[in-house]
Chains A and B, each alone.
Chain A
Amino acid sequence: MTTELARQHAALQSLVLAEDDPDDVYLFRKALDCLDNTIRLEHFADGDTTMDYLRRTLQDDPQQLPRLVLLDLNMPGNSGKEILRQIKSTEGLKRLPVIVFTTSSNHGDVEDCYAMGANSYIVKPRSFGQMVHTLDKFKHYWFDTVQLYPSERLY
């Protein structure tokens, strides 16, 4: 594998987690650790820094964009929905899969997010066991199963 390909492969094995709750981030990491994990986690604690990171990466080195974004809805600063809107309206980012990951099972939130182009909507599991189970399925689907938009990392 050339270095370039290795870099690209690493990017494809990474995800951005936008989540303000440190407990949830901790549990998320621990749950990932329970899996045979090869996923690299980039964590941002609010919407604005998430957006800054994505824009900067798009500009500097689009090859390094993550495979997908996991987005919490209730965050300080720009809310998750606003970030979703910005990603889906930014050329070069709009085909980046965004998976909403939230405690809200509110019908209105689900409707809004899909209407704004969310690729999936997952309600945070209550117990740690369920969290591991959910992440396992999530990983299988988004990292091992699904065919992403064909590109030279040009979303």
Chain B
Amino acid sequence: MGASYTLPNGTDQSRFLEALLEHTLSAVYLFNVPLRTNTYINRRYTEVTGYTLEDLQNLDPASGGIMSLIHPDDMGEVLERFGKDPAHDTAPIKPERALRIRHKDGHWVWHYTRYTVYSRDSEGKPLEVLGTFVDITSLKSHEAQLQTLAAQNAATFEQAAVGMAHVGLDGQFTKVNSRLLSILGCTRAELLEKRLDDITLEEYQVENRTQVQALLDGEAPDFSSEQPLLNAQGTPVWANLSVTLARQGDTPLHYIVVLEEITARKKIEQALEESNAALERFAYSASHDLQEPLRKICAFASALERRLSDQLEDHDAKFELSRISDAARRMTDMINGLLHLSRYTKTVLEKRPLQCSALLQLVKENLEFTIESSNASIHLNNDFVIYGDSVGMQLVLTNLIHNSIQYARPEVPPEITIRTEQGDHKQIITVSDNGRGTAAENCDRIFEAFTRFADKTITGTGMGLAICRQVVKAHNGSIRAHSALNEGMEITIELPLEEQTS
């Protein structure tokens, strides 16, 4: 069906044409080829170019006349088109194109233009050209902005210091950057042949798929995991892998994969872990093995003591023998302390809710003799629940109470108070006494193993508070002391509370 473009009957054609030329968005002109200037322009033409017809006709023909208004870069094509125009063709020259025309003010204005031969001379050469154009400057500037933006995005992607890739929903790499190629040691073409699974170690594949499914299901916004990936040589490279899903509306488009190489960090971490583990093994086996000969010293010294008890009148010899036993006993206590220390860096704690009063009861039974003989009193201000390891927490309380009794002021019966309060996301437990305390400047150092500030007449291993700190640290808590000489000791333990509720 052919479309009909005729005006309705009775329309005043000249009035219609006048109105159209007056109001159309297009600039319209009639260009006379031999005269090389326009013989007609509409009002819009002046609006977008700044030129009146008179201005145009007064342009200097020597410097190109009206043609000088066309941007030199766009000129060649204009001329070429005119030259190729077949003799009787009145169809528009196609395709329409954008070109720049200089505004009367001097700046360039982008136009979208279309022109056609309007009349020809007797030889059939174009005599007049009818043209229209539309100002597309603002569209062009948007386009330029978009191009800049796209170029910036591409540069960000390509030049990022981390490996980046787009991975299709089928797992295939669709876009990769240089850093990723250098991390994986392969060419762009090689990587674009691969799927994410191809560079993933088998033991991580199930987990990765589960995580990716969670992204697809909208259950998680992203996932990241530290794992070794296979490079081109098939060697694992440690990487921090982060994956998000790009969507348009609700439709998943592709995955965005960010990959950071962490081989160096992993090596340091592993070395540190190994050296810590070796240190713990050493502490454990050293203290374990040291116990054996020590036990013999104790046993033989006491056997000798017993054997000679009836015969030995030499009091010095008896004293000296008793010093051997005593020293061996102290060393045994220290080694037991070391064993506790190394055990609490090793074992995973068995955390459960512990009623403080019940815990305290166990500790009191352990220290029954010490408590009774020192006439100590222990107050639990408010009973509370600690979420922790039973053995460890008993060890902490036992050591603290034992210290309070051991370092009591002479002639003053020890009074020990245990209380608790809830802090910001933490439980604060305070054990305070009325004993000798220590100078304020010692308060940090008393938690170091084998560190003692009391005089030698009070026996002790210097391990008690070190063990307390070890146990509290294993609970992700902190412990500190507050004291002044002869003003008692206050030990404050803080345990994280969020772990208790989870």
Contacts and interface: CB of A to CB of B under 8 A. Distances in A.
Contacts of B302: 127-130
B292 A127 contact: no
Contacts of A132: 306
A127 B295 CA distance: 8
A128 B332 contact: no
A103 B295 contact: yes
B201 interface: no
Contacts of B327: none
Interface residues of A, number: 13
Contacts of B231: none
B296 A128 contact: no
Contact of A103 (B291, B325, B329): B291
A41 interface: no
Given A34-B306, A129-B305, 8 more contacts: A30-B303, A103-B291, A103-B292, A126-B329, A127-B302, A128-B302, A128-B303, A130-B302
Chain A, interface SS category: helix
Interface residues of B, number: 15
B300 interface: yes
Interface of A: 23, 27, 30, 34, 103, 124, 126-132
Interface in B296-312: 296, 298-303, 305-306
A129 B298 CA distance: 10
Contacts of B292: 103
Contacts of A124: 295
Contact of A23 (B296, B301, B305): B296
8 contacts: A27-B300, A34-B306, A127-B302, A128-B299, A128-B300, A128-B302, A129-B302, A131-B299
Nearest to B293: A23
A127 B325 CA distance: 9
A74 to B, nearest CB: 10
Contacts of A23: 296, 299-300
A135 to B, nearest CB: 13
Contact of B332 (A27, A30, A34, A126): A126
Nearest to A31: B303
A127 B291 contact: no
B325 to A, nearest CB: 7
B296 A127 contact: no
Interface string B375-414: 0000000000000000000000000000000000000000
Contacts of A131: 299
A129 B295 contact: no
